[in-house]
């Protein structure tokens, strides 16, 4: 059914209908069209167009329609209506009859579509803001866990000065924070209500547009009806923000593609975000990052397309504006999916510290430091710059780094250089000297991470017993750390049977860490399957889980805790004390047969006595019946150890 058919004698041609109809893409506005229609029904009820009973009938029908479409009882793709607005009205007429024909009184599709689109944009903006905050938290955790790793910084893609990997992470945190600021600012202009402006001149009914705007969550009504129905600045602005955000993601991807390359070798990307070659079996391609980089172009195209569409349009509404939606829908979806993928890539990163350090020491990155050293000795900077350049040429000819040159070799260029030059040429000195705000020194980077965390606010979380609905998340964590040989693999059937043994940490509705307390028939106990998602390490969740399960052990009247670990410092902070591994009961050691390191075990044993304020216990008591054992190398506690640092 066309909403405008009364003036026409002949029907539209099939070709025009296919060309003109928009339901195939604007169906995504159904929720918003129903929300705005309910608000409009209440507004026209207040001015006497509808009775209270008619308004309630329409509202119930609209809610029923939303439920039916949501359940799949009604297939919108089979509708022959022109657009989502026609679809809703047609369905309402079929459901409640002629009273549905009153709903459109005083409004036009011009103000209706703009209202729907603004509501949709507002919802997408809020989702993007949440995801950007999540991505920033992922990078903050990555930075926190790699504050001590140093790699080369680049200008012109040439090694320039060494920086901390955490400093690199924080550069993108800054970019994503600006994206948040732009989105928040754009949201203010999105959040104005055009409903009640009708086709272009305003509604003939005395609608309380301020109350209408408030009911729909807008900050206020659009004040000029001509502008309200034809304004698409908010679409262009969101597309610009998306294009800028995608540009940041593209640069992020390009950096990591290079860092992951065989030529650099600074990082390894996880198997879950890479793919192979159909011909070359050795290949491991960074396809996730390349796709993010590639998808940047389609978002740019959507922005350019809209600007060209709008540039010559007269006031007020023109059908050209139907072209505002597909590009917007695709661009914001693309940005969202790329942010999700960027977070997953970041979670998979493993640093090659040795290669990072080697590259940072090469390329004469300490040349600037040598020049500054000469300046401190009283030499003019330009002279120091020239002399340092000549020393670099000499060092290149000798195939030696600057720090390996002898004093007599330095003296060929200037006698100002003495033995005190060597400390300032060391890698840590180079980065730690940059302690001014914005620098790559350890103290400054740590402060930047902490201040950003404070600005974002810490995520709320809780430690609780696991439920069967947590199975998928637990299985993912256990499988991931098993693939890294940091815990033992567990079948899904085994996990289902032992779900009551598990405790989890839930953050913002998502399970991000787990561990299980397994009780043997002899009264012995073991913590197994301990793991914390990479993106949530550095928050102390490993400690929280250990303490939670120790409290459970106390409730079960267990008295002693053993731990086997390659990271004893983590457990020593929890008042565990070194013990004799040979005294551990064989019953607990049965899982060692599954361990890939059973023939070359490098674990140490620690013991904690529940009920002792200091956790001190006599080694001779290790063979008691009630023992709680943490199996670190088999159960991922090494991942948790980084949380305590």
Active centre residues (catalytic): 156, 277
Return the structure tokens found at 274. Answer: 């890479």
> Any long-range contacts for 281-284 (C-beta under 8 Å, 24+ apart)?
none
Cβ atoms < 10 Å from Cβ of 428: 13
Q: Check: CB of residue 525 under 8 Å from CB of residue 517.
A: yes
Length of the chain, please? 645
Residue 156 is given by DSSP the state T
How far apart, in whole angstroms, are the C-alpha atoms of residue 356 and residue 16? 61
Task: State the residue for tokens 């053993």.
Answer: 562
Given a contact cutoff of 8 angstroms between Cβ atoms, the answer to whether 581 and 592 are in contact is: no
| CA angle in degrees (0–180, nearest 5) for 247-252-257 | 120
3-class state of residue 434 by DSSP: coil
| Contact by Cβ (8 Å): 143, 453 | no
Q: In whole angstroms, what is the distance from residue 10 CA to residue 293 CA?
A: 50
Q: Is 305 exposed, middle or buried (0-12, 13-18, 19+ CB in 10 A)?
A: middle
DSSP 24-59: HHHGGGHHHHHHHHHHHHHHHHHTTSS-HHHHHHHH
With H, G, I as helix, E, B as strand and everything else as coil, classify residue 415.
Answer: coil
Cα atoms in the 13 Å half-sphere on the side-chain side of 114:
34
Residue whose pair of structure tokens reads 């680049």 in the numeric block: 154
* C-alpha of 561 from chain center: 37
Separation between Cα atoms, residue 578 and residue 604, nearest integer Å = 8
Q: Residue written as tokens 């928009």?
A: 22
Nearest Cα neighbor of 576 from 637, 505, 639, 514 is 637
SS3 labels along 243-282: HHHHHHHHHHHHHHHHHHCCCCCCEECCHHHCECCCCCCC
Q: For residue 547, what are its two tokens?
A: 């303490």
Neighbours of 459 (CB within 10 A): 15
């Amino acid at each position: 059914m066309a909403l405008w058919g009364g003036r026409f004698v002949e029907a539209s041609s099939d070709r025009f209908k296919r060309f003109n109809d928009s339901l195939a893409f604007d169906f995504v506005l159904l929720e918003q069209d129903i929300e705005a229609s309910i608000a409009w029904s209440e507004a026209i009820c207040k001015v006497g167009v509808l009775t209270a009973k008619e308004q309630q009938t329409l509202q119930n029908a609209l809610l029923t329609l939303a439920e039916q479409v949501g359940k799949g009882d009604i297939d919108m793709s089979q509708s022959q209506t022109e657009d989502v607005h026609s679809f809703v009205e047609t369905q309402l007429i079929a459901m409640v009859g002629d009273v549905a024909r009153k709903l459109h009184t005083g409004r036009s599709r011009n103000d209706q579509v703009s209202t729907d689109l603004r509501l949709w944009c507002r919802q997408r903006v809020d989702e993007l803001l949440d995801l950007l905050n999540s991505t920033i938290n992922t990078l903050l955790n990555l930075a926190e866990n790699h504050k001590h790793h140093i790699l080369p910084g680049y200008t012109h893609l040439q090694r320039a000065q060494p920086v901390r990997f955490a400093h690199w992470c924080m550069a993108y945190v800054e970019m994503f924070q600006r994206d948040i600021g732009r989105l928040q600012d754009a949201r203010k202009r999105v959040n104005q209500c055009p409903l009640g402006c009708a086709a272009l001149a305003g509604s003939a009914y005395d609608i309380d547009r301020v109350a209408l705007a408030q009911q729909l969550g807008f900050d206020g009504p659009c004040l000029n009806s001509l502008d309200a129905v034809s304004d698409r600045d908010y679409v262009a602005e969101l597309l610009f923000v998306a294009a800028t955000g995608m540009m940041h993601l593209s640069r992020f991807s390009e950096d990591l593609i290079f860092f992951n390359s065989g030529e650099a070798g600074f990082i390894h990307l996880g198997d879950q975000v890479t793919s192979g070659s159909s011909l070359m079996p050795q290949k491991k391609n960074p396809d996730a990052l390349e796709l993010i980089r590639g998808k940047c172009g389609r978002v740019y195209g959507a922005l350019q397309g809209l600007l060209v569409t709008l540039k010559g349009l007269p006031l007020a509404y023109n059908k050209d504006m139907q072209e505002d939606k597909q590009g917007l829908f695709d661009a914001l979806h693309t940005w969202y999916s790329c942010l999700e993928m960027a977070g997953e890539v970041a979670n998979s990163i493993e640093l090659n510290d040795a290669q990072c350090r080697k590259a940072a020491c090469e390329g004469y990155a300490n040349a600037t430091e040598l020049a500054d050293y000469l300046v401190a000795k009283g030499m003019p900077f330009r002279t120091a710059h020239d002399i340092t350049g000549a020393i670099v040429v000499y060092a290149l000819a000798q195939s030696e780094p600057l720090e390996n040159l002898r004093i007599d070799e330095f003296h060929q260029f200037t006698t100002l250089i003495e033995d005190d030059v060597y400390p300032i040429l060391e890698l840590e000195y180079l980065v730690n000297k940059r302690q001014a705000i914005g620098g790559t020194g350890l103290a400054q980077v740590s402060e930047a991470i902490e201040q950003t965390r404070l600005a974002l606010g810490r995520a709320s979380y809780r430690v609780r017993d696991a439920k069967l609905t947590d199975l998928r998340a637990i299985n993912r964590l256990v499988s991931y750390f098993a693939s890294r040989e940091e815990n033992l693999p567990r079948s899904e059937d085994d996990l289902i049977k032992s779900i009551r043994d598990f405790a989890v940490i839930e953050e913002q509705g998502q399970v991000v860490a787990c561990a299980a307390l397994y009780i043997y028939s002899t009264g012995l106990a073991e913590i197994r399957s301990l793991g914390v998602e990479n993106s949530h390490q550095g928050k102390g969740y490993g400690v929280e889980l250990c303490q939670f399960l120790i409290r459970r052990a106390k409730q079960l009247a267990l008295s002693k805790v053993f731990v086997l670990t390659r990271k004893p410092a983590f457990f020593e902070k929890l008042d565990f004390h070194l013990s004799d591994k040979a005294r551990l009961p064989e019953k607990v050691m049965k899982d060692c047969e599954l361990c890939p390191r059973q023939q070359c075990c490098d674990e140490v044993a620690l013991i904690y006595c529940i009920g002792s304020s200091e956790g001190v216990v006599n080694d001779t008591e290790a063979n008691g019946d009630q023992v709680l054992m943490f199996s670190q190398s088999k159960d991922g506690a090494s991942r948790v150890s980084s949380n305590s640092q």
